[in-house]
Amino acid sequence: MISWPVFSPISVCMPFPCEDIMSYEIIAIGDELLLGSTLNTTSHTIARKLFEAGWICRRITTVGDDTTDIKDVLLQAIERTDFIILTGGLGPTTDDITSEAAAHAMNLPLTINGDVLNTLHAHNGFSQRIKEKLASMPFGSVPLKPEGDASGYLLIHGDTPLFFLPGVPGQAVALLQEKVIPWLQNHLPAQAVYYRVMRTFGLPETEINRLVSAASIPADITIGYYPVFPEVLISILYKRQKNESADAGSGGHGIEDALSFWQRLVSLLDRHVICEGDETLEAVVGNLLLQKGATVATAESCTGGLIASRITSIAGSSQWFERGVITYSNQAKMDLLKVRQEILEQFGAVSEQTAIQMAKGLRRLAKTDYALAVTGIAGPTGGSPEKPIGTVYIALATPQQTSCQRFLFSRSENNHRPLTRTSIQQLTAETALDWLRISLQYGAHIYSSRYTG
């Protein structure tokens, strides 16, 4: 049994163009973001954290380290929006020009903040010139954390707060959580809406859309589908009406409708729902193992450690994960899992018989409750007419029995392109972990997937 968490309201603004609703924008600055050298994870994380705190981002604009472009986008955003988060270009190197460009845009002198400079004095790695650069900000700015190494700052232009944060994800998010969000909560009230997300695996986006559309969506609910390979996230967004109570328990009709629609969705998608919320599959599996006091071990061939790496990314995983082996060679399969040489010779390393022996051997040797084994062909070479690239055998040994299924991860779901090596590895790891989840949650030995075959 899984327990459904209570439908939890959070306060957010709407992303839709209503003039009376608070909105904000993110401006990300850095040539590396435009050249494609660096993935813009900072903006992504800021959008997510602010969303969780109650504000929906209206626009994210990425520009290079260029004074004219920064000025142009900053002045336009000020016209459109209630507050702005800028990230990037505050660092020590010569291509960091955000403070200078912002001062230029606002027609303000660039000044050195004494508090920030004092903090930096203790830093032996920086020259005086670099310290002064790091402590520079447009006149009138207030450092967000003068005692920190990456202080960031707030400049209020007219009535628009501009938050300047570093581009490095960890530094930006720390300042956001410690300084920006508390400031916003004190100064800019968020509008109340209900938002909820679930993570699914195993149904293509179109099939989910068909099922959901047939469930008669209430008019004031917005549904989102977000494929994040190999999963699909589904969200519902409901904006509370002005005359409704803020308390979900005693809420008006609208909230009750949203709640019951959510529950209909969950029943409809059934076992494909990994979790209500966006916990990762490995976190859900870890939690189920912990609840049962059960342990698991993994034997991987084509996934090369990806399954173990996902399981052990969760803090506390030593309580449920005993060992993993990556048996790339036949010798390793014989040494570490006691797969018999005759089996390997007769059926091959990629076969049901080998997968079953891997799982059984592993469970016996590791003395765990569960053992997961995978063997397959991730490509780009090594396929044959009988076992084409994407052929994978997954075996699951449980306290009751050992089952094996053959999968063919050959084609992506919505188009007909062959999957890459990386996609086959990801889909194999996801399927193995999902089978373990289904087994733990429903006691099922058989796992059905559209890739079975």
The continuous run of DSSP H or E covering 29 comes out as strand 24-29
Q: How far is the CB of 62 from its own copies (least distance, A)?
A: 4
Other C-beta atoms lying within 10 Å of the C-beta of residue 160: 16
Q: How far is the CB of 292 from its own copies (least distance, A)?
A: 18
Asked if 56 and 48 touch (Cβ cutoff 8 Å), the reply is: no
Smaller CB separation from its own copies, 229 or 442: 229
CA distance 384 to 237: 48
Q: How far is the CB of 32 from its own copies (least distance, A)?
A: 4
Q: How far is the CB of 312 from its own copies (least distance, A)?
A: 3
Smaller CB separation from its own copies, 331 or 384: 331
DSSP strands (E only) in 93-149? 110-112, 136-138, 142-143
CA distance 71 to 32: 19
Taking alpha carbons only, the member of 179, 177, 171 closest to residue 87 is: 171
Smaller CB separation from its own copies, 189 or 224: 224
Local structure of residue 279 (DSSP, 8 states): -
Smaller CB separation from its own copies, 145 or 437: 145
Q: How far is the CB of 46 from its own copies (least distance, A)?
A: 8
Q: How far is the CB of 250 from its own copies (least distance, A)?
A: 28
Degrees (nearest 5) of the Cα angle 161, 162, 167?
150
Q: How far is the CB of 148 from its own copies (least distance, A)?
A: 7
Q: How far is the CB of 190 from its own copies (least distance, A)?
A: 14
CA distance 155 to 70: 16
Taking alpha carbons only, the member of 241, 233, 160, 180 closest to residue 53 is: 180
By the 10 Å C-beta count (0-12 exposed, 13-18 middle, 19+ buried), 271 is classed as middle
Smaller CB separation from its own copies, 43 or 402: 43
Smaller CB separation from its own copies, 290 or 336: 336
Q: How far is the CB of 336 from its own copies (least distance, A)?
A: 6
Which single residue is written with the structure tokens 């589908």? 225
Which single residue is written with the structure tokens 């508090």? 115
Asked if 244 and 252 touch (Cβ cutoff 8 Å), the reply is: yes
Smaller CB separation from its own copies, 329 or 452: 329
Smaller CB separation from its own copies, 423 or 439: 423
Smaller CB separation from its own copies, 227 or 453: 227
* Cα–chain center distance at 110: 38
Taking alpha carbons only, the member of 23, 21, 13 closest to residue 192 is: 13
Smaller CB separation from its own copies, 155 or 326: 326
Query: What sign for the dihedral angle of Cα 427, 431, 433, 438?
Result: positive
- What string of DSSP letters covers 91-108? SSSTT--HHHHHHHHHT-
Q: How far is the CB of 83 from its own copies (least distance, A)?
A: 15
Pair of tokens at residue 2: 């899984």
Q: How far is the CB of 305 from its own copies (least distance, A)?
A: 3
Q: Directed axis angle between helix 330-337 and helix 352-366, to 10°?
A: 40
CA distance 21 to 418: 45
Smaller CB separation from its own copies, 253 or 367: 367
